Amino acid sequence: MAIEKIKLPAIKKHNSLTDGYIPKSSKQVLPDKLLNALYYKYEREGNRFVMSLQELKQLLGLKSDGNVERIYEAIGILRHPVAVKDFTYKGKKAKWASISFLKEAVRWVEKENYIEFEISDMMIEVLKQKVGYTELDLSICSQFKTKYGLKIYEMYKRYYKMEESGQDINLGIVKKDLDELNKKFGTSYKTPSGMLRGIKRGLKEIEKITGEKIECFYDKKEKFFVFFWQKKPPYPKLRIPYKRVDELVEWYLQHRKEDTNIKNVEKYKNQLKEAIFNDEFDGLDTLYKGMLAFKYNILNADKYYDPITGKYKDFEEVPLNSQKMNLFDF
């Protein structure tokens, strides 16, 4: 009988888990994939839940006839405690604690195709009190075969939009030292060269699975591994400067309010913005040129227009002080 494949979901993995590491997991990737799978169930069902072996294997990227002993081993590793600091539990402030993410897991005889899991109550309280999440697609994460690939990919997703002071805003950069990476990958390298070999294998796997190109080198002076990548434009079809979108929407509503019946203004604004982002707004050029002319006295908007890309570059603001005219009288 064919086994039905489930659609692997996206999760919002807590940054304390994304940035952290699983103790005593060596270079094994399965415990990290199991952590993602359990976090997915926790997000949807709370700290106690049941998973079928079929679902669990698919979330882990294992074959349906795969050895369940590997899953048992990964479960055992997730029961190792991790150190957490500065949180409150049952009204008491904790300076430091050693907590396991997974409290227990049981496979009962009468339900041998299922495993019951329970996440630690204290760990859940820690997660609630720490802010920040990283969105991860389990259909991608389940494909990784190396810990280097999965952990670097999670780090890439976590810090994708972060900007280094003084650096190109289109360049993403993360710096990690040797000790941090040894903990993250479960390795014990003493020199950068050995770590770089593993990192390069992980970067090749990431490119093969996702198509994303990430580079890494070791800065001998600063003694950091530097990961970097080119950021993609968030709205590739957007033809006006991003900072002008909200302004243009307000301008449009201001000059159309007499003949537009809007029940939910915020919803309508979002619809207009989406149309502008996706280049689906009829008459965008006329509207934008009208705003520039009447609000900023820019009568030759074409000088900011690139005919090759079809996009407008931004301009220096010199507001028009004279009496404002109605755009649709233009």
CATH of the domain at 208: 1.10.10.10
Which residues span the domain enclosing 311?
242-329
pLDDT tens digits, 242-288: 889 999 999 998 887 555 567 778 888 889 999 999 999 999 999 99
- Asked whether residue 130 falls in the same domain as residue 5, the answer is yes
**Which ranges constitute the DSSP H helices of 222-320?**
245-256, 265-277, 284-296
Residues 284 and 281: their CA atoms lie apart, in Å, by: 6
Q: What is the mean pLDDT of residues 229-245?
A: 87
The pLDDT of residue 124 is: 87
- Asked whether residue 139 falls in the same domain as residue 17, the answer is yes
- Asked whether residue 266 falls in the same domain as residue 294, the answer is yes
* Residues above pLDDT 70, as percent of the chain: 89
Give the DSSP letter of residue 316. -
Residue 237 inside a domain? The answer is: no
**DSSP per position, 152-219:** HHHHHHHHTT---TTS-TTEEEEEE-HHHHHHHHT---SSHHHHHHHHHHHHHHHHHHH----EEEEE
- Asked whether residue 104 falls in the same domain as residue 162, the answer is no
The pLDDT of residue 315 is: 87
Q: What is the mean pLDDT of residues 11-16?
A: 79
Residue 172 inside a domain? The answer is: yes
- 83 forms bridges with which residues in the sheet? 98
- Asked whether residue 45 falls in the same domain as residue 123, the answer is yes
- Asked whether residue 136 falls in the same domain as residue 159, the answer is no
Contact 218, 228 (CB under 8 A): no
Residues 318 and 244: their CA atoms lie apart, in Å, by: 14
Residues 298 and 307: their CA atoms lie apart, in Å, by: 18
Structure tokens at 259: 């003949």
Residues 273 and 251: their CA atoms lie apart, in Å, by: 12
Instruction: Compare 2 and 85 and report the one with higher pLDDT.
Output: 85
**What pTM value is reported for the model?**
0.68
Which of 232, 267, 296 is at the close of a domain? 232
Confidence bin at 13 (pLDDT 50/70/90) = confident
- Asked whether residue 139 falls in the same domain as residue 152, the answer is no
pLDDT tens digits, 116-170: 999 999 988 888 887 788 889 998 999 999 999 999 999 999 998 776 555 566 7
The pLDDT of residue 162 is: 72
Which of 120, 143, 166 is at the close of a domain? 143
Residue 88 inside a domain? The answer is: yes
- Asked whether residue 32 falls in the same domain as residue 112, the answer is yes
Give the DSSP letter of residue 197. H
pLDDT tens digits, 165-188: 555 667 889 999 999 999 999 999
CA angle 102, 133, 70 (to 5 degrees): 35
Which of 208, 232, 256 is at the close of a domain? 232
Confidence bin at 322 (pLDDT 50/70/90) = very low
- Number of separate domains in the chain: 3
- Asked whether residue 17 falls in the same domain as residue 132, the answer is yes
The pLDDT of residue 275 is: 93
Q: From the CB of residue 79, how many other CB atoms can be counted at a distance below 10 Å?
A: 13
- Asked whether residue 156 falls in the same domain as residue 69, the answer is no
The pLDDT of residue 257 is: 57
204 pLDDT higher than 90: yes
Residue 89 inside a domain? The answer is: yes
Residue 52 inside a domain? The answer is: yes
Q: What value does the mean pLDDT of the chain take?
A: 86
- Asked whether residue 65 falls in the same domain as residue 176, the answer is no
- 222 to each of 7, 178, 194, 219, 226, how far by Cα in Å? 44, 12, 18, 6, 10
Confidence bin at 318 (pLDDT 50/70/90) = low
Residue 26 inside a domain? The answer is: yes
For the chain, what's the residue count? 330
Q: What is the mean pLDDT of residues 100-109?
A: 94
The pLDDT of residue 196 is: 97
Long-range contacts of 129-132 (CB under 8 A, 24+ apart): 129/87, 129/88, 130/14, 130/15, 130/16, 130/87, 131/15, 132/14, 132/15, 132/16
* Residues above pLDDT 90, as percent of the chain: 58
Residue 223 inside a domain? The answer is: yes
- Asked whether residue 51 falls in the same domain as residue 125, the answer is yes
Backbone angles phi, psi at 239, to 5 degrees: -105, -10
The pLDDT of residue 182 is: 94
